[in-house]
Amino acid sequence: MVTSYLNETIMAKIIENGIEREASCTEELFAMRDSLDVLGGKWKLMILRYLTNRPDQQIHFKKLQRGIDGISAKMLSKELKELEMNLLITRTIQDTKPITVVYAVTEYGKSVLPVTETLVNWGIIHREKIKESMSSSDL
């Protein structure tokens, strides 16, 4: 079953000098652009989701690469550096032989969890909608 969303305007809230107000459309678009700059691309949200779903595991580079189908080592390295730079993940070097680097989501990085939850749920609904559309067009 496909869930439909209400067609209503939802404006973000901004607190300035202790006073709450609705964000302007321009402010919302700037905030959206900032979010996409930090989280955009094919891999960052997938990396965060993978790490978030494994809080009790030590996740090293190769495990991440094996767990996220299709990501190259070069791209994973780039994305991990950007996620760390934006304080969403930590990179811990362990004193082992050979040296092991472990990645984990920060408390701040966990704030992205509702975004990934929404995208996962929307993706499931979207796949179902497309399947329904394809089967009804086959008739």
Confidence of residue 127 (pLDDT cuts 50, 70, 90): very high
pLDDT tens-digit map of 28-69: 888 889 999 999 999 999 999 999 999 899 999 999 999 999
Helix (H) or strand (E) holding 131: helix 113-137
Query: How is residue 57 annotated by DSSP?
Result: S
In the chain, where are the structural domains located? 7-39, 41-136
d(CA 129, CA 133): 6
CATH of domain 41-136: 1.10.10.10
pLDDT score, position 44: 97
Residues 6+ apart with CB under 8 A from 12: 22, 23, 27, 28, 31
pTM of the model: 0.79
